[in-house]
Copies of this chain bind each other. A is one copy, B any other.
C-alpha cells in the first residue's frame, strides 16, 4: 500500500540510499549526501529527506554523530563469496525431520530456549495492546454475530481487507477470490490436494522450509527438488530439465523472500517460470507469507501477475508477521480451482474460527495494521542486519551468509566439515534453538548450513547466544580438522565442489565470519 503515495516518499528515498550503502557506493565511516544537497538535486522537501535519514538510522545503517551529522555505520564483509547451493554429500545418518521440527516448535513455547529456531517475531514487537483493546471493545451484540459458524470461504469483511492489500497480485483480485483457512499450512494443504493425487510428483525448492517435507510425506506426494540460486531464486533452467525427465504434476515455490534463503525472485525470472509452467499446463502453488516484509519498495509481484491460464494458487497468512495466536491464512486459488478448493475446505474443516477472523478484520480495517506493518518492516530490517553483524563477529572464518532481500531469516553456511545437526544438538544443550540446514532439504543437502531467526532484537542475551553458537561451530571445526588429519588419504576436492555452484558476481551483500 506504500507505493505511489506521497506520504511514503521518504521510504522510497530511504530505499534508494540503502541500496547505495549496500552496494558500497557510500562506504562505512563516510557521510551520506547532505540533506541540503539532496533537496536541491532531487527536488524533495527537506522534511522528507530528514525522515528518510531517521528511518535509516532506526535500521542501524547510519548513525548521527554529535555536531557532525550522519555517517554510514561500519558493516564490512571480509571477503566476497557466494553461498553455494550444494555443499556436501548427504549425511549417512537418517534424520527424522519431524522430530527436529517438533523440537523447533516446542522451543517457541519454552521460555528457556533462545528463540533463534522457528521463524517468529519477538512478543515484545507484537501489538498486544491493540489486539487486547479490540477484544475489550467487542460488544455482546457483536459476540452474537461471532458465535455462529462462519461460512467456508470466510468472513466477507476480512476477505475484503485482504483483497485491498493484495492488489499487487493482480488488478482483479476481490474478496470473492479469497478463501480463509486455518493458517497458511491449511491453505497449502488444500492447494496441494486440489491439484495433485497421492503418489504424484510435486516440484519443490532445495532448500525449502522444513515443515514442507513433513507435509509432502504426510499427504503421500513424491518430491522433485529444484535448486535455488541465492541471488535470483529458483533456477528455471534446472526445473525445465526436471520437467523433461520426470512427470511433475505441480510445483510449490516461494518466489518472494524464500525460506530459508531470503531471496526475492526478479520479475523477469518470475515471468519465465510462469510462462514455462503455463506451457506445460502445470499448476504452481505460491507460498507468499513473507511478502509483507519487503525492503520498502512495496509488496513484490505475485506469480499470478504472469499467469495466463489460472494455474497459480497463492497461499499466505499473517501468522508470521502479526500473531501466530490467531490461526488465519488464506488462499487465492483462481477461477479454475476455486470450486474444488471450496469443496475440500467445507468437507475437511467446515470453516475457520469466527472469533479470529473478526479480530483480524477489525485490526485491519482500523488502520492499526498498516501502521504496525510499516514500523515492523523497519524493526525487522534492523534486526536482520544486527544479527548478521553478530554472526560476522562471533563465527569463525569460513562462515558465510548473504543478507536477505526481505523476510526475517538468515541462512548461514558454516565452515566445511561442520555438521549442522551436531551444532543443533549442542546448541540445544546450551538452551539455544536453531534450524539445522539438513532438515531444509529432502535429499539431505546443506549439512553445514543453519537457519537463524531474526525476529528478535539483538539484545545482550541474543548476542551471547550467537557468541555461544560461534564457539560451538569453532569446536566442531577443530574436531573436524583433527578427524581430517587422521583420514589423511581422502582427496580434498570439496572446495572445488563449492566453487562449481552458482556464481553470483561480486554482490556486496555478503558477510563472512571474522574470528580466526
Chain A positions within 8 Å of B, measured between CB atoms, are: 98, 101-102, 105-106, 108-109, 118, 120, 123, 126, 128-129, 131-132, 135-136, 138-140, 142-144, 146-152, 182-183, 185-186, 189, 193, 198, 211, 214-215, 217-220, 319, 323-327, 343-344, 346-356, 359
Contact = CB atoms under 8 A, between A and B. Distances in A.
A128 B140 contact: yes
A395 to B, nearest CB: 28
Contact of A325 (B102, B136, B353): B353
A132 B152 CA distance: 24
Contact of A356 (B189, B219, B356): B356
B128 A324 contact: no
30 contacts: A102-B346, A105-B351, A106-B151, A118-B149, A120-B148, A120-B149, A123-B144, A128-B143, A128-B147, A132-B139, A135-B138, A136-B136, A146-B325, A147-B324, A148-B323, A149-B324, A149-B325, A183-B350, A183-B351, A186-B348, A211-B347, A214-B346, A214-B347, A215-B347, A218-B343, A324-B351, A325-B355, A326-B353, A327-B349, A327-B353
A467 to B, nearest CB: 26
A183 B349 CA distance: 7
Contacts of A218: 193, 343-344, 347-348
A147 B323 contact: yes
A132 B145 CA distance: 12
Nearest to A132: B143
A344 B149 CA distance: 25
Nearest to A128: B143
A349 B189 CA distance: 8
B149 A105 contact: yes
A138 B189 CA distance: 33
B220 A198 contact: yes
Given A109-B149, A131-B147, 6 more contacts: A101-B346, A105-B151, A189-B349, A211-B350, A214-B343, A356-B356
Task: Summarize A's interface: helix, strand, loop or mixed.
Answer: helix
A152 B143 CA distance: 27
A354 B126 CA distance: 15
A315 to B, nearest CB: 13
A139 B183 CA distance: 25
Nearest to A357: B325
A25 to B, nearest CB: 40
A297 to B, nearest CB: 29
| 3 closest Cβ pairs, A-B complex | A325-B354, A149-B324, A128-B143
Nearest to A342: B102
Nearest to A350: B185
A326 B355 contact: yes
Contacts of A101: 346
A373 to B, nearest CB: 16
Contact of A132 (B108, B140, B352): B140
Contacts of A348: 185-186, 189, 215, 218-219
Given A139-B132, A144-B128, A147-B128, A327 B352 contact: yes
Contact of A150 (B150, B186, B325, B352): B325
Nearest to A216: B347
A183 B348 CA distance: 10
Contacts of A352: 182, 327
Contacts of A185: 347-350
A108 B149 contact: yes
Contacts of A138: 132, 135-136
Nearest to A131: B143
A362 to B, nearest CB: 12
B349 A148 contact: no
A359 B183 CA distance: 19
A132 B151 CA distance: 22
A98 B215 contact: no
Contacts of A351: 105, 183, 324, 327
Most buried by B among A105, A132, A151, A326: A132
A338 to B, nearest CB: 13
A106 to B, nearest CB: 7
